[in-house]
Amino acid sequence: IEPGQKIALVGPTGGGKTTIANLVARLYDVTEGAVCIDKIDVRHVTQKSLRRQMALVPQDPFLFPGSVADNIRFGRPDAPQDAVEEGACLANADEFINRLPDGYETQILEGGVNLSLGQRQLVCIARAVLAEPRILILDEATSSVDTVTEALIQEALERLLAGRTAIIIAHRLSTVREADTICAVQDGRIVERGRHEELLAQGGLYRDLYERQFVEVASEFGGS
């Protein structure tokens, strides 16, 4: 992956997409080969140093007990309030935060259960914005939200992705059409690699996934 590239990982459930992302983030180590960043094996640097360079926006966002502001500051505890609010604005989270009873000082319960899933995801994106990572990992960040919230998240992610290297795991293929490279992953291996139009023309796994989603969407709206 070249610096600044956007790489998408798509494929069936259990194919290995999240495993690849977890290896890059060193949530666990490879048993063969190596994961290198700037030609340096990630096992040869401290986890603290590695994690400072990247941010992960997961499918199921997790928040900690404490204020909204503290949750946004999680990756950068010394950030001033104006930076926290700027990050929230870029993440499209500022509007809903200001509607909370105590705004940025509203206390979040364990796991963020007093916020909606979409609101929790926007807080996690604000956290990533504030951390200013070089590498961004998005693990199906929009797969479990409604269409209105998805549009807010997509807009926020476009700002976050600008100028950054990114690994994007996606179920909805419409969200990865503009990626520099799309990798179709199956049974732990990359079986296809290319841009959207190229992979459709190959008529393989990616095209099969794409056509299945097209049929699913059409059926939802009464088509056939």
**Contact by Cβ (8 Å): 10, 17:** yes
**pLDDT at site 173:** 81
31-50: per-residue pLDDT in tens? Answer: 999 999 999 999 999 988 88
Over range 117-136, report the average pLDDT.
91
Model pLDDT for residues 133-171, shown as the tens digit of each residue: 999 998 887 766 777 777 888 888 888 888 889 999 987
Residue 181 pLDDT exceeds 90: yes
Q: How confident is the model at residue 212 (pLDDT cuts 50, 70, 90)?
A: confident
Query: What's the angle, vertex CA 103, arms to CA 100 and CA 106, rounded to 5?
Result: 80
* Beta partners for residue 190, in sequence order: 185
Length of the chain: 224
Amino acid of residue 145: V
Give the DSSP letter string of 85-125: HHHHHHTT-HHHHHHSTTGGGPEEPGGGTTS-HHHHHHHHH
Which helix (H) or strand (E) element contains residue 213?
helix 205-220
Q: How would you class 220 by CB atoms within 10 Å of its CB: exposed for 0-12, middle for 13-18, buried for 19 or more?
A: exposed
pLDDT-derived band at 215, boundaries 50, 70, 90? low
Mean of the per-residue pLDDT values of the chain? 88
In Å, how far are 17, 26, 93 from 82, measured between CA atoms? Answer: 36, 32, 14
Q: What are the two backbone dihedrals, phi and then psi, of residue 40, each rounded to the nearest 5 degrees?
A: -105, 125
pLDDT of res. 221: 47
